[in-house]
Amino acid sequence: MLPLEHLQTTMARSVLAIEPMVSAKMLTAGKADPLARLRIYQNNTRSSLTAVLMADFPVTVRLVDERFFRYVASEFIRRHPPVESRLSRYGAGFPRFLKTIDTLSDIPIVAETARLEWAIAEALDTASLPPRSLVDYDKIDLGPSPDILLQPSLRLIVSHWSILSVWTAHQQGTAVDQHCTWTRRPERVALWRAGNSVRLVLLDRADFAFRHSLKHGLGLEHGASRAHALDPNFDLVSALVRLFADELVTNVRITVHSLSN
Amino acid sequence: MSSAFQPLAIPASAGIGLRSPHISEMLTRRPSAGWLEVHAENYMGDGAGVEALERLRETYPLSLHGVGLSLGSAGGLDRDHLERLRSVCERFRPDLVSEHLAWSVADGAYLNDLLPLRYDEEALSIVARNVETVQDKLKRRVLIENLSAYLAFADSSMNEAEFLAELVARTGCGLLLDVNNVHVSAHNLQYDAKAFIDVLPADAVGEIHLAGHATNQVGADTVLIDDHGSRVPPVVWALYEHAIARLGPRPTLIEWDTDVPVLDVLLGEAMWADMLTASIMFSRKQAARQAAAAKPRPESPTPFENVKTGMPVLAAFAAAKAGPVMSAALTPMEGRYDVAA
């Protein structure tokens, strides 16, 4: 008789349809064929995890057709099953996996759109903190370069492809132009959670760099310098006003930066 | 946040599983539902659902139902996951916490399904150790739910009910009796569903689950699939009646996870459960009074044995009017039952 851990390993591989399968002699199912009953567990695992992926990547499903998506998902599940039961984390590796699928090699926008959708899924599972307004800091001296803290759900994505345009075209209520072509055009996208949904905006290079610096805690001065380097006409005041208007600022702190910075 | 939540005890009446399509309506209507149950894993992040549950928790008693702890894993528990479960408990202060007698993690993979154990001494030691770890971490008793199964292991040395009874004795855990699971497993593995319930230590049962299931025909094999995708069928109501007759009223959850209906359908199922329990307890009081008056009456069948209607609770009332339900010995719960609960 196998030790329980060995038995469970064998069963787990069988459920994921990885050879060799568990011996029928170990199983019983009344008068039924136990291996046929094992297929119920195989199907439960594959179909439930496929449903998780379809919920996270709805536009990707529409881009590649549902049957093909289900095929790719089942391969992903077999090769990369979840490593934990918190399924909100399952799917992070799916966009990268899509890039390895031969059939999709000539339409890279599929994996890129999936990358955008995973960022949306992450944002939706992240806290939305109370936003601060500019008025809150009317009479406070914040020093020359305060730290601006942004919503933790903020995600910044840059792609060589028009991912936001594709994503937007596939939202409910949006008429999809069947004749549109997927264009190789860089898009920089900021997205964050707003209640039950996400807000997505396109950014130019300078604004993207500015928000990127703030998101990574590099400070206002660093962000402004990077933005100016990319666009000498970068308007810091307008950029700050937009941050507050977008309800992205959760705190502003006076910080003493080290001289080495 | 958690510190603001007052303890809210779950009554021995019916509650509903909170599902995302209903959250908005629950928040605006605040319907009369005895209590709510949520899957712990859905509230380990910081999404909008978590914020909604914080608001609902102010009104409704809460049961936290884990599906991913894998108590039966021989490789031990995922300590990170257990810590997350502790955090969710601390945040929402649930009155009940439950998990499954099952495993779902092995070989580094989480299978997102609940697999049966080989019921033997080795598994009992492992599960008992894992349950004790959980109870120590959460500083509370947890309820362990029986499984719906499609196969079993040939080398098991005891059945699932005996395993659960011994687990209770070793760890002091409670039990969550899933009546639909009993029916599904009893059909699929060919054992007596009522006998399963009768083996369980009655005092340990702290909660009951009810749900629907699907029937699949694969060749000559008719297999019941625990899909939680339909109304509680008459055969499960009948088994619930058997459980209540033995256990007395218990917090009872209507589970509905796939093809989720409108909220009122779910609330209606919960109402049926309350009405059935009321009918059974009323019949038992009548029977007790009649026995006390030394006027023995012939035993009548239980309300569901001859039921062929799709609305079993009304049939239960009809049966209750026709004659008392003479069940097994009355349980100590009877004296605590409150029809208004």
Dihedrals phi, psi of A54, to nearest 5 degrees: -65, -35
Average pLDDT of the segment spanning B278-291: 90
Average pLDDT of the segment spanning B127-145: 98
Give the C-alpha separation, B104 to A86, whole Å.
Answer: 12
Chain A interface includes B39 (CB < 8 A): no
Each residue's pLDDT, cut to its tens digit, for chain A (261 residues) gives 899 999 999 999 999 988 778 999 999 999 999 999 999 999 999 999 999 999 999 999 999 999 999 999 999 999 999 999 999 999 999 999 999 999 998 899 999 999 999 999 999 999 999 999 988 888 777 777 788 999 999 999 999 999 999 999 998 766 555 555 567 788 999 999 999 999 999 999 999 999 999 999 998 999 999 999 999 999 999 999 999 999 999 999 877 655 444
Chain A interface includes B225 (CB < 8 A): yes
Give the C-alpha separation, B60 to A213, whole Å.
Answer: 43
| Cross-chain CB nearest to A86 (options B44, B150, B225) | B44
What single DSSP character describes residue B22? G
Instruction: State what percent of residues in chain A have pLDDT above 70.
Output: 93
Give the C-alpha separation, B266 to B275, whole Å.
Answer: 14
Confidence of residue B326 (pLDDT cuts 50, 70, 90): very low
According to DSSP, the residues that pair with B97 across neighbouring strands are B64
| Cross-chain CB nearest to B189 (options A29, A41, A45) | A29
Report chain A residues whose CB lies below 8 A from the CB of B160: none
Distances from the Cα of B19 to the Cαs of B9, B26, B260, B331, in angstroms? 21, 10, 8, 34
Are B8 and B60 in contact, with CB atoms under 8 Å apart?
yes
Distance from CA of B169 to the nearest CA of A (A): 22
Sign of the torsion formed by the C-alpha atoms of B289, B295, B301 and B306? negative
Chain A interface includes B78 (CB < 8 A): yes
Report chain B residues whose CB lies below 8 A from the CB of A195: 48
Average pLDDT of the segment spanning B191-210: 97
Report chain A residues whose CB lies below 8 A from the CB of B68: 84-86
pLDDT in tens, B7-20: 899 999 999 999 99
Give the C-alpha separation, B338 to B335, whole Å.
Answer: 8
Among residues B80, B64, B163, the alpha carbon closest in space to that of B119 is found at B163
Give the C-alpha separation, A87 to B265, whole Å.
Answer: 28
Are B217 and B187 in contact, with CB atoms under 8 Å apart?
no
Chain B interface includes A128 (CB < 8 A): yes
Q: What is the pLDDT of residue B331?
A: 39
Q: What is the pLDDT of residue B293?
A: 86
Give the C-alpha separation, A171 to A176, whole Å.
Answer: 9
Residues 149-188 (A) with a CB less than 8 A from some CB of B? none
Residue of B nearest to A44 (CA): B113
Q: Give the list of residues 6+ apart from residue A256 with CB closer than 8 angstroms, or none.
A: none
H or E segment to which residue A206 belongs: helix A205-215
Report chain B residues whose CB lies below 8 A from the CB of A28: 151-154, 189
The amino acid sitting at B332 is P
Q: What is the pLDDT of residue A190?
A: 97
Q: What is the pLDDT of residue B335?
A: 32
Q: What is the C-alpha radius of gyration for chain A, rounded to an integer number of angstroms?
A: 24
Q: What is the pLDDT of residue A225?
A: 95
Cβ-count burial A142-177 (b if 16+ within 10 Å, e if not): eeebbbbbbbbbbbbbebebbbbbbbeeeeeeeeee
pLDDT in tens, B299-312: 555 444 443 433 44
Chain A interface includes B268 (CB < 8 A): no
- Mutation to test the A interface, candidates B25, B44, B110, most A Cβ within 10 Å: B110
In the block, tokens 């083996």 appear at B199
Give the C-alpha separation, B19 to B259, whole Å.
Answer: 11
Are A16 and B202 in contact, with CB atoms under 8 Å apart?
no
Which of residues B114 and B300 earns the better pLDDT score?
A: B114
H or E segment to which residue B87 belongs: helix B79-92
Instruction: State what percent of residues in chain B have pLDDT above 90.
Output: 78
Give the C-alpha separation, A40 to A29, whole Å.
Answer: 12
Report chain A residues whose CB lies below 8 A from the CB of B189: 28-30
Q: Which of A223-227, B141-145, B299-303, B331-335 has the lowest mean pLDDT?
A: B331-335
Check residue B30 and give left, alpha or beta (phi > 0: left; psi -120 to 50: alpha). Answer: left
- Report the SS3 class of residue B39: strand
| Cross-chain CB nearest to A32 (options B72, B105, B221) | B221
Q: What is the pLDDT of residue B340?
A: 29
Helices B121-138, B160-171: axis angle to 10 degrees equals 40
Residue B255 has pLDDT above 80, yes or no: yes
Inspect the interface and report whether the beta carbons of A4 and B45 lie closer than 8 Å: no
Confidence of residue B287 (pLDDT cuts 50, 70, 90): confident
- Whole-model pTM: value is 0.87
Report chain B residues whose CB lies below 8 A from the CB of A41: 111, 113, 115, 150
Q: Which of A40-44, B246-250, B320-324 has the lowest mean pLDDT?
A: B320-324
Check residue B108 and give left, alpha or beta (phi > 0: left; psi -120 to 50: alpha). Answer: left
Give the C-alpha separation, A102 to A115, whole Å.
Answer: 18
Inspect the interface and report whether the beta carbons of A37 and B123 lie closer than 8 Å: no
Give the C-alpha separation, B85 to B69, whole Å.
Answer: 9
Give the length of chain B: 341
Report chain A residues whose CB lies below 8 A from the CB of B126: 4
Chain B interface includes A28 (CB < 8 A): yes
Among residues A260, A261, A257, A235, the alpha carbon closest in space to that of A146 is found at A257
pLDDT in tens, B46-62: 999 999 999 999 999 99
pLDDT in tens, A140-185: 777 777 889 999 999 999 999 999 999 999 987 665 555 555 677 8
| Cross-chain CB nearest to B109 (options A4, A12, A128) | A12
Are A193 and A128 in contact, with CB atoms under 8 Å apart?
yes
| Cross-chain CB nearest to B154 (options A28, A37, A196) | A28
Residue B34 has pLDDT above 50, yes or no: yes
Among residues B111, B205, B110, B191, the alpha carbon closest in space to that of B149 is found at B191
Interface A:B, Cβ pairs < 8 A: 143
- Mutation to test the A interface, candidates B111, B127, B163, B224, most A Cβ within 10 Å: B111
Chain B interface includes A23 (CB < 8 A): no
